[in-house]
Structure 1
Amino acid sequence: MTAAPIIETDRLILRPHEAGDLDKFWNFFQSDRSKYMDAPDSRSQLWTGLMAEVGSWEVYGWGGLAIETKDGELAGQICISQPPHFPELELGWIAFEGFEGAGFAFEAASAMRDFAFEILEVPTLVSYIDQKNRRSIALADRMGAVLDPDAQSYDPADLVYRHTPDSSGPGLEAYA
């Protein structure tokens, strides 16, 4: 359908994944930072999951992108996805250790949300967030997402935050 895009913001490049990203992701999933996520049990399972993010661009027109700082450091991932167990299209994010608290996740998630609404023309997105994950809840709130208690979730521990085009910021032109 479409190749993965490259989206630039003031401080970040959201780019297609590369083979060299695997080790950073493995380290993330071995750390306490991934405690609110379904972590892969092996490097093979991680590889399969990351390849699903890469291949989704061709099949569905959405998927995962690496978050890279302008000086070339891999800071995490931003993703639009809907694996079979997700009731709705999700906007999800991962911030690697050392890259939280600087606004990188907000910048990347806002740019990906705007891409979804303006380029992909999706009507809505959700973020499935574990109810104990205070940092991700704060990010969803900061982005203007609204808690949707009526939305379905695949995990009873998750809250569902809804993003709509009217909750988004200035749009992609702000990142160009």
Structure 2
Amino acid sequence: MSSRASARPKCCVIDAPLITTPRLALRPHRMDDMEAFWAFYQTPCAEFVGAPKTRTQMFFGLSSEIVSWGWMGHGAWAIDTAEGDFIGQIAITQPPHFPEREIGWTLFAPAQGKGYATEAALVALDWAWEQGIDTLVSYIDPDNVRSIALAKRLGATHDPDAALPDGETLRETLVFRHRPDSDGNPEAYA
């Protein structure tokens, strides 16, 4: 075997950093997360998240959020409870059709209404501000009252002048803007 054939390029893959709270762990995704996501996408809870039509589409979508860590320095975290139950995802992403970095969340039905999404989003926002990110947006369907309420709880404000993702209209998408010290971080109350 030639040395050329055996040489391997250095990999640039970077996993999501592990972030914990007393109730949650934000961790890198694992392959076994795929089945829980597929089950979620088959429920009415997925109506606002652009559910993939096939497992292959889901694989490519989730893979892009994972590889974003190495390419862009941000991406998706899986959310586990302290007991180890996988309950959803929090992500800071900017796919090519997004004009800005977005923080988005997906929580599976059994975990909704327990404050987990707020808790996960707050620590993800803290991480973003520590990285020097000065603003994030959340692109939300106007009928998604739960996500709008969460964005407001996080201190985000509606930004009607913000650019929309390619191909989307104001009838389909509201933009909520997150900024440091306006997102519910403790520093906002100091």
Calculate the TM-score normalised by the size of structure 1: 0.94
Matched, 1:137 2:148: yes
Alignment partners' CA distance in 2, 1:133 and 1:3: 30
Structure index of larger Rg? 2
Q: Does 1:74 find its partner at 2:86?
A: yes
Residue of structure 2 in register with 1:50 after alignment? 62
Structure 1: 4+ residue segments shifted above 3 A: none
The 5 Å alignment of 1:19-38 reads 19-38=31-50
Contact (CA 8 Å) 2:78, 2:90: kept in 1 or not? yes
Unaligned runs of 5+ residues in structure 1 are: 172-176
Select the structure with the greater relative contact order (CA < 8 A; seq sep ≥ 6): 1
RMSD: 1.1
Q: Deviations over 1:63-107 (max 9, x none)?
A: 000010010101100000000011100000000011010000000
- Report the residue type matching 1:163 in the other structure: H
What letter is aligned with 2:178? Answer: H
CA–CA distance in structure 1, aligned partners of residues 122 and 173 of structure 2: 21
| 1:35-86, Cα deviation, whole Å (9 max, x unpaired) | 0121111101101111111111011110000010010101100000000011
Does 1:170 pair with 2:186? yes
Q: Which runs of 5+ in 2 are unaligned?
A: 1-11
CA distance in 2, matches of 1:164, 1:41: 34
Alpha-carbon contact 2:76-2:92 (below 8 Å) kept:
yes
Alignment of 1:58-137 (within 5 A): 58-118=70-130, 120-137=131-148
User: SS state of the match for residue 165, structure 1?
Assistant: coil
